[in-house]
Chain A
Amino acid sequence: MKNLSTILATLVLVFAFMNSASAEDWKVSATAKKKLNPYELSKKNISTGKKVYQTNCKSCHGDPTKANMLPLVPAPADLGSQNFLVQSDGEIYHKVKVGKGAMPTFEKTLNDESKWMVIAYLRSFDKNKKKAVVTKAVVNPEVSDVKIELDIDSEHKKLKAHLTGLKKDGKRAGLEGIELSFLIKRAFGQLDISGEEAYTDAKGELLIQFPTDLPGDREGQVDLTIKITDEDEYGVIEEKRVLSIAVPTNPKNPLDERAMWGTRANAPIWIIASYLLGVIGIWSVIFLVLFQVFQLSKMRTKS
């Protein structure tokens, strides 16, 4: 706990009243504690868990072991710390499920599988259990210079990524079972079009169907980034491309039409016409009458 406090203090404010009670206050029954994660700690599961974590947990808890959580009181725990991971799977599961105080309940927001996947992901930070991680049968050769190549089938809007690495013998080999992310740049974020099972096959290849109805710019261009989802093993490996296979959009400018709600410059012609005709019509009669009034005195002299 002391260690945790020091990390916090260096980063944010000193929470002198660092809430150490938060861990003890949870009431987790003995049966709940005994529950075990029914999913294995496979690479795939950990990677799935990581995704769930980033969408649902990261905004408060920050990245595991990085201690960059939100400065709330009580502070959200660093879920990658050993202090946290001494708990059993069942204990963590229970806390995710019911929540407490500022920690929301995920009973309905996350299905059971996702909850366990998150726990699998967190376990991957557990120094004591790391040995227990069951890696998938696939073992890729040790490689360097990992890169992603992309083939584009414009007609069918299909993208084929080829993930290869340079083996020690100087030959390039496809890397199998690696998850790739296909990200399309949008105004405020990256749209992931990879789909559910975006893992490379034995040749290191992955075929993705580009959404047929996704809008691009006027020419149908979009910015694509392909990257290895999990940066831990090979570091940041990404490939950027401008694709011309999206649906060309011609943004409609709502101000092109004259409308009742538009500015004066965009007022409907008929309303401008009626206003001006009314004003000119009535005021010209008024001025005519005024002019006529001044004729009265001339008539006096005539008579």
Chain B
Amino acid sequence: MTQKTSDKSRRNFLKSFGVTVGAAGVVSSFSLLSAAKAAAKEPGETVNLLTADGQLVQVDKNQLRPTVNEPLDELQQRGREGIAGKSFVMVIDLSKCRNARKCMSACQNHHQLRADQHHINVLQMQDADHTAPYFMPKPCQHCDNPPCTKVCPVDATFKRQDGIVLIDNERCIGCRFCIAACPYSARIFQWTEPKDAEKYKDLTYNIEANVPQKKGTVSKCLFSADRLREDKLPSCVSACPNGVYYFGDRNEDAVTNGTSGETVRFSKLIEENAGYTLMEELGTKPRVYYLPPKNRAFEFNGDLLNEENLH
């Protein structure tokens, strides 16, 4: 357990510098050092990276690239099949969300999105005139009756056996019907060349992270399917400093908190906290559960734009 959590803090550490370390996750110190040397010729924005063996290196940001080793066909095939026997669910504890937005930036790093593109978006909600406002992180709900995959004309968006709804960038025709169909506004469209398109253009497409993003296609939250394959929690879940997210396998009836690493029974967590799903009246059967924002440990600050209020 201690081993596990110390791994986590290291990951948090890397995250805090806004660096995505690869789909494969392992970056050898050798390649990093040579990258650092190359960067020395052309000084640009540098980042500090901790290597697997504990060395601290400084690397030019432009030298960093996710590593993908598998060929496209294999990535596509396993991406479409999903992970057998799993049934992923997320639980979001609204009583803990104080709009730190670490989830949003971690997600944008992982999926190569600009700062105004959201796979996950922390919304300021107020259900009725005199009810209390609260912050609500909103990823894709990975519905079990997904309105988006129903309308896709080409099987570009689809649900896998582990419950995750993915998008195949290689097939999407950009009709945006799925965006119109999604009641949660969870989908975005690449209206122009995606961020860093030039840098990532030779990269093999990884359907499980939907990177590199492509102009004229749709993108959305994927529960970091590439990380789940390595038994890692989704980027947003790991990045949260306030213990908002739980993620796990419903078949195992267990979810793990991304901040504390604590694992709890999914059914008990939902039962004891009166967990609910978003807009259940639409019959979409979401896989993202919310715990109501009661007994909040902080004052709600309504001003989203004020940076000081974010902590």
Instruction: Tell whether any CB of A sits under 8 Å from a CB of B in the complex.
Output: yes
List residues of chain A with CB under 8 Å of any chain B CB: 12-13, 54-56, 58-60, 62-63, 68, 70-72, 99, 101-102, 104-109, 181, 183-184, 186-192, 211, 213-215, 217, 231, 249, 251-255, 260-264
List residues of chain B with CB under 8 Å of any chain A CB: 1-2, 4-6, 8-9, 12-13, 16, 48, 56, 84-87, 96, 98, 144-147, 149-150, 155, 158-161, 163, 231-233, 241-243, 247-249, 251-257, 259-265, 267, 295-298, 311
Q: Which 6 A-B pairs have the closest CB atoms?
A: A189-B263, A186-B254, A189-B256, A188-B256, A55-B260, A109-B297
- 17 of the cross-chain contacts (CB-CB < 8 Å) are A58-B260, A59-B8, A70-B13, A70-B16, A71-B13, A104-B242, A105-B298, A181-B1, A183-B1, A186-B248, A191-B254, A213-B267, A214-B265, A249-B251, A254-B159, A255-B160, A255-B161
A residues within 8 A CB of B96? 109
In the complex, the chain A residue whose C-beta lies closest to that of B267 is: A213
Contact A264 B260 (CB under 8 A): no
B residues within 8 A CB of A214? 253, 265
A187 in contact with B145 given A12-B56, A56-B260, A255-B159 (CB within 8 Å): no
Contact B263 A186 (CB under 8 A): yes
Contact A215 B159 (CB under 8 A): no
Please report the number of residue pairs spanning A and B whose Cβ atoms sit closer than 8 angstroms. Answer: 127
Minimum C-beta distance from B253 to chain A (A)? 5
Most buried by A among B1, B56, B144, B261: B1
Minimum C-beta distance from A112 to chain B (A)? 14
B residues within 8 A CB of A108? 295-297
B residues within 8 A CB of A254? 144, 159, 161, 163
A residues within 8 A CB of B265? 191, 211, 214
In Å, the complex CA distance between A54 and B259 comes to 10
B residues within 8 A CB of A63? 6
Contact A189 B4 (CB under 8 A): yes
Contact A54 B5 (CB under 8 A): yes
A263 in contact with B158 given A188-B231, A249-B251 (CB within 8 Å): yes
In Å, the complex CA distance between A60 and B259 comes to 9
In Å, the complex CA distance between A60 and B255 comes to 21
In the complex, the chain B residue whose C-beta lies closest to that of A58 is: B5
In the complex, the chain B residue whose C-beta lies closest to that of A222 is: B252
